[in-house]
Amino acid sequence: MPTADKRQRKKENARLAREAREAAVKRRRRNRTIRNAAIAVAVFVVVILVLTFVSHDDKKKTVAVSPTTTVPASGVTATIKTNQGNIVLSLDTKDDPKGAGRFIFLAKSGVYNGSRWHRVVKDFVIQGGAPGGDPTKSYGHPVVGELPKDHYPVGSVAAAKTGTDPAGTFDSQFFIVTGAQQGASLANDYARFASVKSGMDVVKKIEALPVGADGDPTTKATIDAVTISGA
């Protein structure tokens, strides 16, 4: 027969074993709860990240022009009001954010208002955008925009520069390509920041104006204002 002490020790051991089992069950439940909560949080974070990165609303995306300036990645247009009619440009803020951003800045600053088209070359380009319409003047602090790899199709809008300026330099003057052959043979040295969306008939009308020996139209060809939409 077990002695009283032995019986007591068995009871005590049984109690300790039972408490240990109960504690282990509680730990497993607690760990399961923590693990499930962690999984739920992780799933939530992943969903948020996926929604952020797969969103393709370009109007909400921006492209850096400088460390402190951004422009929308798409959907920006510019309307050039001339005395011959309006020309609407689609700005390439995705592939040439620096050039497009420069044009947006100058337009919003009113630099182009009251200027003119001062150079016309038949089957090649019309050029304008000099401050006050004076092609000998520069705005100053030019940027260097991105360069294309496929030259300049008809309707391309690119930054004009001197022969000594680095490729892609954009002060304020710009040109619109009117000739397919000339545009295709033009070296990829000019920041192509836009294309004509509508009003190519106006561009051709300006191209058809009579010019002097230096290519300056002898008939008035003004840039009255440039307005930006979407930025």
What are the Cα distances from residue 180, in Å, to 34, 121, 128, 154, 193? Answer: 68, 13, 20, 5, 18
Residues 29 and 82 in one domain: no
User: For residue 52, what pLDDT band results from cuts at 50, 70 and 90?
Assistant: very low
Residues 166 and 73 in one domain: yes
Residues 84 and 180 in one domain: yes
**What distance in Å separates the CA atoms of residue 103 and residue 70, rounded to the nearest whole number?**
13
User: For residue 72, what pLDDT band results from cuts at 50, 70 and 90?
Assistant: confident
Residues 92 and 107 in one domain: yes
- Total domains, the chain: 2
Question: Bigger pLDDT: 201 or 14?
Answer: 201
Among 33, 55, 77, identify where a domain stops. 55
Residue percentage of the chain with pLDDT more than 90: 66
CB-CB contact of 185 with 179 (8 Å): no
Residues 98 and 36 in one domain: no
Residues 113 and 9 in one domain: no
Residues 154 and 89 in one domain: yes
Residues 78 and 26 in one domain: no
Domain residue limits at 26? 1-55
Residues 79 and 49 in one domain: no
Residues 114 and 195 in one domain: yes
CATH of the domain at 194: 2.40.100.10
Residue closest to 195 by CA, chosen among 209, 171, 174: 174
Average pLDDT over residues 129-136: 95
- Phi, psi (5° rounding) for residue 112? -85, -20
Question: Bigger pLDDT: 211 or 57?
Answer: 211
Pairing verdict, β 115-121 and 222-229: antiparallel
Q: What one-letter code names the amino acid at 138?
A: S
Residues 23 and 118 in one domain: no
Residues 50 and 140 in one domain: no
Cα–Cα–Cα angle for 56, 98, 155, rounded to 5 degrees: 80
Among 31, 55, 79, identify where a domain stops. 55
CB-CB contact of 101 with 89 (8 Å): no
Report which DSSP code applies to 118: E
